[in-house]
């Protein structure tokens, strides 16, 4: 575990020589004292990224050259999958199979954007037809500049990959600020990039507290683009900071995603996808399908099967074999989840299962898989993101009513629909106001497909070509090609 920041290709102590405690979620014990960056360090990192962009030649390198670095990073991650996955478990609490999945996904993300970087070389300037034949216009795409990337704790390495890979592929340089709850693998990513020979200043990693390291990054005049993933309140602050000097900004925020299950669905399949949609990563997933709407005829039997399966989920420390649910990330997060459940009960909801610390797990931030029913529509448990292993299940009568309920949210990140009737699935998918809609499944995510939300779930899209476009400016070059002068002020005689 590292105790230096990575700035300008070197490992440096934070300017104020401060650290912050990183705790292990399964015990609450101290895992590491991580280096705490402050405004001075952020300034040094931005200046390094600025120099790498302005005079270091990174944007001028061919896409193929940048792809070479990205593939080397992917290979570096793959060579250390077991070690990185273990670190992620200790830092975040998630079960080892999930952490392994995430780390492999992060490597895939670097390889995928290597491919898109290569494609940039082949991209011809796009000709734009103009109504005036005296002009000829083409459009090219260029890197935006220095990116300030701020990420959350739920997928520490993967969220870093989602931002760093497309930004470097596009020709941008990056200052990455991971969450203070899970800073460890971002520093390893810096080490892997260093070993891959990524030039100094192209990727900088500053670990630190949001207010001390994140805020100065959002306020720094040397940053051209802010790419943020996290909560709505912080996203709002990031956007306000960006507004001051009109930085480009993309935001991936929270959700309260619905899952509509029609009564022609197979119950076992529905239950499996509901479990996957809400208990993977302890429900600490922005796209978690946390509101399940079940057509009335299926409601009773489905609820019974869901509760039976939720009770069977093996809970424990993420490194233990067979564990499918680890502790939540922090004591605070656990307290927030418990408070949300208690409030739901006070509002009139009923706990069908869970709602407490699992027996026998007295230490750490554990919470049982929880199913809430009869949650009033005004209750925060129905309207607000809980970001924990808590699902609200509710009956609906018809398609129109279900769509209304599903769309009645200030969020619009994801939604899912399940039915044996394909036409109905397509119809409902079209009506759902969300950036991601899953049919007959929930959560599978691919680097090739766009990721992002409607409404308060964010601005812009990550992943796929959209993720690359997130870091590219559009430039028109328009040429005056006529033999005759323009002749507005100076009239030819
Ligand atoms: P958070 O908003 O508390 O923190 C996110 C990051 O912002 C952290 O690195 C934090 O240090 C930093 N930060 C805090 N205050 C800051 C400030 N004033 N200025 C700049 N940076 C600051 O979110 P979190 O608790 O880490 O993550 C959970 C949230 O993230 C949930 O709401 C979840 O839905 C969302 N999320 C969204 C996606 C998505 O793709 N849409 C993915 C993962 C998580």
In 274-322, the DSSP E strands lie at: 291-295
Reported as a single tens digit per residue, the pLDDT across 357-396 is 999 999 999 999 999 999 999 999 999 999 999 999 999 9
Q: What distance in angstroms lies between residue 451's CA and the mean position of ligand 1's atoms?
A: 16
Is residue 166 predicted with pLDDT exceeding 80?
A: yes
State the catalytic residues: 252, 286
Identify which of 20, 231, 287 to mutate to test ligand 1's pocket (most ligand atoms within 8 A of the CB).
Answer: 231
Mean pLDDT of 310-337: 98
What residue's CA is closest to ligand 1, atom 26?
Answer: 152
Judge if the beta carbon of residue 212 lies within 6 A of ligand 1. no
Mean pLDDT of 94-109: 98
Q: Are residues 288 and 337 in the same domain?
A: yes
Residue 263 lies in a domain: yes
Mean pLDDT of 298-309: 98
Q: What distance in angstroms lies between residue 386's CA and the mean position of ligand 1's atoms?
A: 14
Reported as a single tens digit per residue, the pLDDT across 329-358 is 999 999 999 999 999 999 999 999 999 999
Q: Are residues 417 and 465 in the same domain?
A: no
Residue 448 lies in a domain: no
Q: Which residue has the tokens 């599978």?
A: 444
Which is the closest atom of ligand 1 to the Cα of 451?
A: 40
195: number of CA atoms within 13 Å, CB side? 14
Is residue 293 predicted with pLDDT exceeding 80?
A: yes
CA distance 20 to 34: 5
CA distance 78 to 75: 5
Q: Which residue has the tokens 């939300």?
A: 453
Any idea what the Cα angle at residue 364 is, between residues 351 and 354, rounded to 5°? 10
Judge if the beta carbon of residue 254 lies within 6 A of ligand 1. yes
Q: Are residues 193 and 237 in the same domain?
A: yes
Domain range for 125 is: 5-253+457-477
Any idea what the Cα angle at residue 203 is, between residues 198 and 207, rounded to 5°? 135
Reported as a single tens digit per residue, the pLDDT across 216-263 is 999 999 999 999 999 999 999 999 999 999 999 999 999 999 999 999
Reported as a single tens digit per residue, the pLDDT across 7-61 is 999 999 999 999 999 999 999 999 999 999 999 999 999 999 999 999 999 999 9
Q: Which residue has the tokens 């924990």?
A: 388
Q: Are residues 46 and 139 in the same domain?
A: yes
CA distance 178 to 63: 27
Q: Are residues 223 and 303 in the same domain?
A: no
CATH number at residue 326: 3.40.309.10
CATH number at residue 194: 3.40.605.10
**pLDDT attached to residue 492:** 79
Q: Following CA atoms 466, 464, 386, 21 in sequence, which dihedral angle do they give, to the nearest 10 degrees?
A: -100
Q: What distance in angstroms lies between residue 148's CA and the mean position of ligand 1's atoms?
A: 14
Q: Are residues 199 and 338 in the same domain?
A: no
Across the chain, mean pLDDT equals 98
Q: Are residues 39 and 112 in the same domain?
A: yes
**pLDDT attached to residue 422:** 98
Q: Are residues 196 and 294 in the same domain?
A: no
Residue 493 lies in a domain: no
Domain count, the chain: 2
Residue 406: which of 262, 234, 232, 252 has the closest Cα?
262
Q: Are residues 243 and 263 in the same domain?
A: no
Task: Assign residue 455 a region (left: φ > 0; alpha: ψ between -120 and 50; beta: otherwise).
Answer: left
- Cβ atoms of 249 and 219 closer than 8 Å: no
Domain boundary among 393, 413, 439: 439
């Amino acid at each position: 575990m590292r105790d230096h920041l990575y700035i300008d290709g070197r490992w440096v102590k934070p300017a104020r020589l401060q650290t912050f405690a990183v705790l292990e979620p399964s015990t609450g014990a101290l895992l590491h004292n991580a280096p705490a960056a402050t405004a001075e360090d952020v300034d040094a990192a931005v200046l390094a990224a600025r120099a790498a962009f302005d005079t270091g030649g990174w944007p001028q390198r061919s896409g193929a050259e940048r792809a070479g670095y990205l593939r080397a990073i992917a290979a570096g991650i793959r060579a250390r999958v077991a070690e990185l996955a273990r670190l992620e478990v200790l830092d975040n609490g998630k079960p080892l199979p999930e952490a392994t999945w995430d780390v492999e996904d992060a490597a895939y993300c670097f390889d995928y954007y290597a491919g898109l970087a290569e494609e940039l070389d082949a991209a011809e300037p796009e000709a734009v037809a103009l109504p005036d034949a005296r002009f000829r216009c083409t459009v090219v795409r260029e890197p935006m500049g220095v990116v300030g990337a701020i990420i959350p704790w739920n997928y520490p390495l993967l969220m870093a990959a989602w931002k760093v890979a497309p930004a470097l592929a596009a020709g941008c340089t990056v200052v990455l600020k991971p969450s203070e709850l899970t800073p460890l693998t971002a520093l390893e990513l810096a080490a892997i990039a260093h070993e891959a020979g990524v030039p100094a200043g192209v990727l900088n990693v500053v670990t630190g507290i949001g207010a001390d390291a994140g805020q100065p990054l959002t306020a720094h005049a040397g940053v051209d683009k802010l790419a943020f993933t996290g909560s709505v309140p912080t996203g709002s602050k990031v956007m306000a900071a960006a507004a001051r000097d009109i930085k480009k900004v993309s935001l991936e925020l929270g959700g309260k995603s619905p899952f509509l299950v029609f009564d022609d669905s197979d119950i076992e399949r529905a239950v499996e996808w509901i479990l996957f949609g809400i208990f993977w990563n302890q429900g600490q997933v922005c796209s978690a399908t946390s509101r399940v709407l079940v057509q009335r005829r299926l409601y009773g039997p489905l609820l019974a099967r869901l509760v039976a399966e939720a009770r069977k989920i093996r809970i424990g420390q993420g490194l233990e074999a067979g564990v499918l649910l680890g502790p939540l990330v922090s004591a605070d997060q656990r307290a927030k989840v418990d408070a949300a459940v208690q409030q739901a009960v006070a509002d009139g909801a009923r706990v069908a299962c869970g709602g407490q610390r699992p027996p026998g797990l007295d230490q750490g931030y554990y919470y049982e898989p929880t199913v809430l029913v009869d949650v009033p529509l005004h209750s925060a448990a129905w309207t607000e993101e809980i970001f924990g292993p808590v699902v609200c299940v509710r009956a609906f009568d018809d398609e129109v009513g279900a769509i209304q309920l599903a769309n009645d949210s200030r969020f619009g990140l994801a939604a899912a629909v399940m039915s044996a009737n394909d036409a109905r699935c397509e119809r409902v998918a079209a009506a759902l106001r969300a950036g991601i809609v899953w049919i007959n499944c929930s959560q599978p995510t691919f680097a090739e497909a766009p990721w992002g939300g409607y409404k308060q779930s964010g601005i812009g899209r990550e992943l796929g070509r959209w993720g690359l476009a997130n870091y590219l400016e559009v430039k028109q070059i328009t040429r005056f090609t006529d033999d005759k002068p323009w002749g507005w002020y100076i009239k030819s005689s």
